Structure 1
Amino acid sequence: MRFAIAILLPLATFSFALGLTLPLMRFERLFILEDRPSLIDMVVSLWGDQEHALALLIGAFSIGFPALKILLTHVAALSGTASRSLHLLGAVSKWSMLDVMLVALVLFAAKTSGLAAASVLPGLWFYASATIMTAAAAFLCARR
């Protein structure tokens, strides 16, 4: 079990970093225009467009909570005992898949609107795998 945690946590952290910086989706409009935004690009763009509330909301749920979950899982794995971090981890874990679902809804909306052709890029896969690996590591830490 300790070996699995030792493998999952660094992989989850690395995947999360790639998921934030690599493009999540490709949107093609009018056959010649193409956008390939990363999650960080989306938040920065919303902030620049004066959509502060939406930028903060997406930043908190898509970057802040998952980063906090990874950090708390690292703390729980290193402490080796049932600690306060496991209790906080339980509260943060409830929001871990919300961000992946939101990205999936945006992708679905773009595909069905007919305004743009959308396809998934590696950033989304790294982001989703980080979410799954962090959840698995947190589960293993709680069982210890």
Structure 2
Amino acid sequence: MMRVRPYLLLAAAIFFGLGISLPLVRFEKLWLFSETPSLLGLVYGLWQEGSLFLAVIVGLFSLCFPVVKMAIAFRAAINGNALPNWAGMLSKWSMMDVLLVAIVIFAAKTSGLATAISQPGIWFYALSAILLAVASFETQSAGGKR
């Protein structure tokens, strides 16, 4: 399994890039209007609207935490070390965004105001989080042995 870890991390990094840049969800309102925001577009939109605090929070948990965890996992895999204990805290936030988007899709569908359809971005983002968790678990369980 140790030989697979670099490939898992590489796939997680590629899927993360796709997940934040591709549309997460498509909202269709009144059969005429359609919106397909990506995660990067969402953070930028919040920033442009003046919701700076919300933009920083979403950017921190959606973009920064996964990138930091990925960098730590890459470093641990290259050096053959286990992940530091504090890196496990970042894991707890990995799937939060996927859950939030799923809740938004569910709320839009049940409210009747808009039709929400999941897009490839949410799937790539979720796959990235899962692959990173699997690669990190392997790194943690390896205990620094090669």
Q: TM-score, normalised by structure 2?
A: 0.93
Residue identity in the other structure for 1:73: A
Tell me how far apart the structure 2 counterparts of residues 112 and 66 of structure 1 sit (CA, whole Å): 30
Q: 1:89-141 CA distances to partner (integer Å, 9 max, x unpaired)? A: 21211111111111111111111111110000101000000000000000001
Tell me how far apart the structure 2 counterparts of residues 120 and 26 of structure 1 sit (CA, whole Å): 6
Asked if structure 1 preserves the Cα contact closer than 8 Å seen for 2:6 and 2:74, the reply is no
Could you say which residue in structure 2 is the equivalent of 1:129? Answer: 127
What are the ranges of 5 or more consecutive residues in structure 2 without an aligned counterpart?
A: none
Q: CA RMSD in A?
A: 1.0
Tell me how far apart the structure 2 counterparts of residues 87 and 105 of structure 1 sit (CA, whole Å): 30
Q: TM-score, normalised by structure 1?
A: 0.94
SS at 2:85 equivalent? helix
SS at 1:96 equivalent? coil
Q: C-alpha displacement at 1:36, in angstroms?
A: 0.6
Tell me how far apart the structure 1 counterparts of residues 89 and 79 of structure 2 sit (CA, whole Å): 19
Asked if structure 1 preserves the Cα contact closer than 8 Å seen for 2:12 and 2:129, the reply is yes
Q: 1:11-69 CA distances to partner (integer Å, 9 max, x unpaired)? A: 00000000000001000011011001100000000110111111111111111111111
Could you say which residue in structure 1 is the equivalent of 2:10? Answer: 10
Could you say which residue in structure 2 is the equivalent of 1:36? Answer: 36
Tell me how far apart the structure 2 counterparts of residues 106 and 64 of structure 1 sit (CA, whole Å): 22
Could you say which residue in structure 2 is the equivalent of 1:106? Answer: 104
Q: Give the fraction of aligned pairs with identical amino acids, expressed as a percent.
A: 45
Could you say which residue in structure 2 is the equivalent of 1:91? Answer: 89
Could you say which residue in structure 2 is the equivalent of 1:56? Answer: 56
Residue identity in the other structure for 1:16: F
Asked if structure 1 preserves the Cα contact closer than 8 Å seen for 2:9 and 2:74, the reply is yes
Could you say which residue in structure 2 is the equivalent of 1:140? Answer: 138
What are the ranges of 5 or more consecutive residues in structure 1 without an aligned counterpart?
A: none
Asked if structure 1 preserves the Cα contact closer than 8 Å seen for 2:23 and 2:119, the reply is yes
Tell me how far apart the structure 2 counterparts of residues 17 and 88 of structure 1 sit (CA, whole Å): 24
